Chains A and B, each alone.
Chain A
Amino acid sequence: MYEFEYHQPKSLEEATKLFADADDPQFMAGGQTIIPVMKQRLAMPSDIIDLGKISDLQGISVDGGALTIGAMTHHNEVAGSDEVRKAIPALAELASHIGDPAVRNRGTIGGSIANNDPAADYPAALVALGATVQTTSREIAAEDFFTAMFETALDEGEMIVNVTFPAPEKAAYEKFPNPASRYATTGVFVAKTGESVRVAVTGAGACVFRQIDFEKALLGDFSPSALDGLTVSTDGLNSDLHASAEYRANLISVLAKRAVKHAG
């Protein structure tokens, strides 16, 4: 690890000012990615701005049919929250399988989506549920938020405040974990909300994406058999040590069917 200045602002204004005044600053949420990267000397920010003490970024609330989760909410809080379990059980379930207990105690929803790791779980939930990301300057629809591998629509110095999820009628997430890292080799989040069905896939490509043909098939018939006979193209899918594009294409089909069944 290289030397850096550490800050722990108490407000968004203070964090914004610290960011503006530093040479090469880096916001830190739960630190579950940035700390290992810094320990490997693969990043050398001049200043780490820890967002852990900003109360505006905390908390889970329900307003009508919408669930709002503060950016600094830990995965285990989402997993264990009665509000989340009641409004969107699939989201609590997803959070309960991120990383390991140590990661879930430190990692946050805001940190996860701002990092946009192609194998992270949350991006699939945001896209499938049609969530909205509230930042310090605007609202961004989930689909517009995740732009490319490890890239988002966030501008320099812009912070995520919270994420709002409309409660779906039915939803489920199925993940096939990488046997080593237990990130998603492929994960599929299926959500049915009113007249819309969304199927979001993470881990299989460079960035979360929607499986549009699956969505169309499920719109008329929300059952696993509706996906029979549909094959997934390997175009744009990742190939690595643990899974070829062909295998990932198979996983998308298998996991989508299981998610639909699981969603009931």
Chain B
Amino acid sequence: MEKYGIGQPVRRKEDVRFLTGTGTYIDDIKPDNLIHAVVLRSPHAHAKILDLDTSEAETMPGVLCIVTGKDWVAEDFQPMPTKSAVNKKIDGTPLNQPPRHAIAIDRVRYVGEPVALIVAETLVQAQDAAEVVEVDYEELEAVTDQIKALEPGAPQIWDDIEGNFCIDFELGDKEGTGKAFETADHVVKLKLRNQCVTAAPIETRGAIASYDKDTGKYFLQNATQNVHANRDTFASVLKIPSEDLHHMAPDVGGGFGAKNSGYPEPSLLLYAAKKTDRPIKWIGDRNESFAADTHGRDQATTVEMALDKDGMFLGLRTRTVGNIGAYCWTVGPFTPTGGSARTQGGPYYIPAMHYTGIAAFTNTMPLDPYRGAGRPEGSFQIERIVELAARELGMDPVELRRKNLMPADSLPRKTPMGLDVDTGNFPEVFERTLKMSDRAGFAKRFEESARKGLRRGFAIAPYLECTGGGPKEFAGVKFGKDGSATLRVGSMSTGMGQETSMPQILSDTLGIDFEKITYVQGDTDATPIGGGHGGSRNMEVGGSAVLQCAREVLVKAKQLAAHLLNSNADDMELKESVFTDVKTDQNVSMADVVAASFDQSRLPDGMEAGALDTDTIFEREIISCPNGCHSAEVEVDPETGTVQVEHMWIVDDFGTIINPMLADGQVMGGVAQGLGQALMEEIVYDEDSGQLVTGSLMDYALPRADSMPKMEMAFYEDAPTAKNPLGVKGSGEAGCCGAPPAIVNAVLDALKEDGVTHIEMPLTPEKVWRAIQDAKQQGA
């Protein structure tokens, strides 16, 4: 059993089907009588809809139904709610939240906004009909940059929201921070951006909706990360009770936050399914994924740091303006406000901190969480200002970081941002990373690069982040007479491997055969509640629910074992799938206990057949604090500006590691997306027209295998958290926090002799080359 226990690198059992093409993704599902839908989307960033004529399209072959904003008004369907945890402005008034309907009513506010849903017998017929829907637009001026959107005279996206202002927010000690800056020996200031990026999951979004007129119930299969919350959203839009909508996610091919949200399309499909009395499939294509999947980051920030003459940090002041796009999406306003505030300052001891965040509307696809949602932004901000401070003060950046890390004995500590940091050892993690990084060999590698005409640089970036997402989670287990078990969990995997790691916890705790555990997720009928995935919560909250459930089963199993052995439950010890009475040495196997649980004649009074079946809900009280340290060595070609990340060394403190192979995978994937943000990814809208320029993989650059560095990874496992019974801190988003600052600072280190001090992400070849040219000219 230990082979499948907690801490074992068990190979992912789902990979057999994923890698042999036998998974069931949404487009693999083909119900009888299926019809197809396409979404007609706005070609304009901002326009009034003067007229929308579907009369010709309705006569096209195979067309069954066309849904427009007129239907939405006639049916009085409701806007989709925003669930931002920060929802009041600094002055106490509620955030400006315009109605977000599933379909444009009389105005479009971003390229890609749904204008009509066309349903036909075949996909081609739906596409043909979409081409003859006539929409008469009156174009309006558009603004896609949040700073410009807040300027006087900017185009107004909402008539009743002045200045495109959604919400402002502050956290920390404003006055105390101000004083720290007044008395400081040094003040360092930097303006920087975390550019707009998109998740680009390998499986685009898609859904199949159907309606049973006999029962009055709807059924939605959907490529989503969160079936319960989104069920409630769609039900509220359509004004039906949540229990009338069964929402399921089949295998999902990547989420990263972009499949968190309650999107418009499912409500449109559910409505059309009822109208046509047929199951309807919609599969977004890659262009729709770029235009109409929520985007992430897009924060323009000024960060200032106060230091004393010895380089000790005294204060940190951050002011961020975040773009949230044309609407408050599901939790969009939270990211640049509360979401980015909590982990400000990273793992450093900074006595005084103050954070201000503003969310602004623009004519872009709305933003929602993307892997990290605020913590990678904060990590980048602190690490860039620290690097710049070292440069300006003439200090070694490694030494400056070392002396300012929160000492191990300062924990537990509540940071000035209110983050409850319970366990960890930041100096130890930092030193281990440094030791792995082969600093002694750097000089030689630097010379080798120089001989090839290349620059070489190094940087180290410790990070501190936190988990998020829903605090409650359900886990339930049902046994079979043959010793099998079905585990149902409300958190879910979109490819991360919980089908393997969750059964590991169950197998480890109960000694049941790993191979006999069936894992069920992503189904509102299977679990009463569920938080899906997001905020690195899967193992922290979902895994803890599984452990809690397993422990509750164990209590009952011990009672039953004791009954079978005529002894006391307290004397039962479970080892290698066998219960042994520590006093008499009598024993009974777990498999036999499970079998007995179905045989009334073998059960004690008060236990019914199936007595071991257990449902439980775990609730997290305080979010956890994953932390760690990345270091990177890069090579820069000064003639072309090309950056190659040569090597990364990473030590992570994720608390208890359930499956190191999967945790490694999380780090590597996070680094790939972090490297993408650092070097190549950017959603670009045309400044004047508001058109999406990076609407396909021909223009939106994603990292490939040959972009990736050699990576050496290790875990610091000596500081499990007491905030949950598993002791896990969460691993999903950490890679995105550490990689961008490590890589960007390493490039700047490589170019320090050239006099380059800052380059905005992404560090594309041209930007790097231009920075070198500009520095040359300034130096001349």
Contact = CB atoms under 8 A, between A and B. Distances in A.
The yes or no verdict on A and B being binding partners is yes
Contacts of B769: 247, 250
Given A247-B770, A250-B769, A181 B698 contact: yes
Given A1-B124, A3-B124, A254 B764 contact: no
B640 A242 contact: no
Interface residues of A, number: 18
B680 A179 contact: yes
B698 A179 contact: no
A53 to B, nearest CB: 27
A157 to B, nearest CB: 29
B766 A243 contact: yes
Interface string B681-703: 00010000000011001111110
B699 A176 contact: no
Nearest to A254: B639
Contacts of B397: none
A244 B773 CA distance: 14
A196 to B, nearest CB: 27
B599 to A, nearest CB: 58
Interface string B318-340: 00000000000000000000000
B127 interface: yes
A6 to B, nearest CB: 15
B764 A179 contact: yes
Contact of B127 (A41, A242, A244, A247): A41
Contact of B640 (A40, A176, A178, A181): A176
A181 B766 contact: no
A244 B767 CA distance: 10
B770 A241 contact: no
A230 interface: no
A2 B699 CA distance: 25
B698 to A, nearest CB: 4
Interface string B497-533: 0000000000000000000000000000000000000
B762 to A, nearest CB: 9
A251 interface: yes
B766 A244 contact: yes
Nearest to A176: B640
A183 B694 CA distance: 16
B7 interface: no
Given A179-B680, A247-B770, A241 B694 contact: yes
Contact of A242 (B124, B766, B770): B766
Contacts of A2: 124
Nearest to B698: A181
Interface string A1-44: 11100000000000000000000000000000000000011000
A254 B287 CA distance: 35
A180 interface: yes
Interface string B755-780: 00000000011100110000000000
Nearest to B700: A180
Nearest to A248: B766
A136 to B, nearest CB: 32
Given A1-B124, A3-B124, A241-B684, A180 B639 contact: no
B124 A181 contact: no
Interface string A192-205: 00000000000000
A179 B124 contact: no
B277 to A, nearest CB: 28
Contacts of B699: 180-181, 241-242
Interface residues of B, number: 21
A243 B642 CA distance: 13
A222 B242 CA distance: 76
Contacts of B700: 180
Contacts of A178: 701
A181 B680 CA distance: 12
A166 B588 CA distance: 84
Nearest to B127: A41
B300 to A, nearest CB: 20
Nearest to A244: B766
Interface in A38-82: 40-41
Contacts of A243: 766
A251 B640 contact: yes
A250 B639 CA distance: 8
Contacts of B684: 241
A205 B376 CA distance: 39
B698 A180 contact: yes
Interface in A113-169: none
Contacts of B697: 180-181
B366 to A, nearest CB: 23
Nearest to A181: B698
Contacts of B639: 250, 254
A41 B702 CA distance: 25
A242 B764 contact: yes
A32 B640 CA distance: 29
A178 B701 CA distance: 8
Interface in A236-254: 241-244, 247, 250-251, 254
B454 to A, nearest CB: 13
Nearest to A186: B640
B693 A254 contact: no
B291 to A, nearest CB: 14
A178 B696 CA distance: 13
Contacts of B766: 242-244, 247
Contacts of B701: 178-180
Nearest to B767: A247
A259 B497 CA distance: 46
Interface string A175-219: 010111100000000000000000000000000000000000000
Contacts of B694: 180, 241
A102 to B, nearest CB: 13
Contacts of A251: 640
B360 to A, nearest CB: 24
Interface string B628-659: 00000000000110000000000000000000
Most buried by B among A1, A178, A180, A251: A180
Contacts of B693: 241
Contacts of B127: 41
Nearest to B642: A176
Most buried by B among A1, A244, A251: A251
Contacts of B702: 180
Contacts of A179: 680, 701, 764-765
Nearest to B639: A254
B287 to A, nearest CB: 8
A171 B764 CA distance: 29
A1 B131 CA distance: 12
Contacts of B765: 176, 179, 247
A254 B640 contact: yes
Nearest to B679: A179
Contacts of A40: 287
A138 to B, nearest CB: 34
B132 to A, nearest CB: 13
Contacts of B640: 176, 250-251, 254
Nearest to B770: A247
Contacts of B124: 1-3
Contacts of A254: 639-640
Nearest to B637: A254
Contacts of A244: 766
Nearest to A253: B639
Contacts of A181: 697-699
Interface of A: 1-3, 40-41, 176, 178-181, 241-244, 247, 250-251, 254
6 contacts: A3-B124, A41-B127, A181-B698, A241-B694, A247-B766, A251-B640
Given A244-B766, A247-B770, 12 more contacts: A2-B124, A3-B124, A41-B127, A176-B765, A178-B701, A180-B697, A180-B701, A181-B698, A241-B693, A242-B699, A247-B765, A247-B766
Interface of B: 124, 127, 131, 287, 639-640, 680, 684, 693-694, 697-702, 764-766, 769-770
Q: Lowest 3 A-B CB distances belong to which pairs?
A: A180-B701, A179-B701, A181-B698
